[in-house]
A = this chain, B = another copy of it.
Amino acid sequence: MTVPAPENTAASTGPRLVAEEHKDGVDAAVAAARRLVTALLRAGDGTGADLDAVAAQLDAVAVRLTEGAPPVSERLAEMWRGEGVPRHDPVTGPENALAPPLRLYGTEEGAVEGVVTLDLPYQGPPGHVHGGVSALLLDHTLGVANHWAGTSGMTAELTLRYLRPTPLFEPLTVTGRQVSVDGSRIRTAGEIRAGDRVCVTAAGLFINKQLPRPS
């Protein structure tokens, strides 16, 4: 297996707040699927590979996995069982090939922080991160910051400000911290930096309630 790039490990030495990736089982298959998604974009139609054969091969794997899968309702109940951190979300989830994944750590100051380098799948403007991808990373990071602070909820409002383009292919620092809790209203802020340049800021209002877990 390819070892994750070192720059995707946060500089912080605080506790890891999102799921650990295993080196085998579904996490290993998902990590390979991520590399495949990037490889498809890097290759495009210009590669020498027989892409119809690749499609058939991938479909065969997908069919085999789906045949062995439990009903969705059962899988949903399993996903949300217990008190552990989720393993399936599209930002940090080791079981989700959409997730870069972003690895978030708690800091001593009560904030959360992670470092991630994004490749072509996350592109918006030429050579830069899609504004909506920055929103996705920040929404999730603010949610984890609320968990870390001890009072979490669902996003009610999120405002992103794009100060400068966010580059692909270089380490980005994503941070979040809870600002205030007033009754059920939680205010949380975060940002994405490239080096010491702030690229995107986020301000979120969260409401302290949760959807019921499937059972």
- B-binding residues in A (CB < 8 A): 1-2, 24-26, 28-33, 35-49, 51-52, 54-59, 61-66, 68-70, 72, 75-76, 78-80, 88-91, 95-98, 120-128, 130-133, 135-140, 154-162, 165, 169, 210-214
**Distance between Cα atoms of A125 and B90 in the complex (Å):** 11
Residues of chain B lying within 8 A (CB to CB) of residue A136: 130, 132-133, 135-136
Chain B residues, CB < 8 A from A35: 58-59, 62
Copy number of this protein in the oligomer? 2
Tell me the bound Cα distance from A41 to B75 in angstroms.
9
A-B contact sample (6 more), CB < 8 A, given A1-B59, A97-B97: A28-B55, A36-B61, A42-B66, A47-B65, A91-B132, A130-B139
For the complex, would chain A's binding face be called helix, strand, loop or mixed by DSSP majority? Answer: helix
11 A-B contacts, Cβ less than 8 Å apart? A26-B40, A26-B47, A29-B40, A33-B40, A39-B63, A40-B65, A44-B78, A46-B68, A49-B68, A126-B213, A132-B140
Contact of A120 among B29, B88, B127, B211 (CB under 8 A): B88
Give the residues in chain B near A124, CB-CB below 8 Å: 89-90, 140
CB contacts (< 8 Å) of A54 on chain B: these are 29, 32, 61, 65
Report how far A9 CA is from B1 CA in the complex, Å. 38
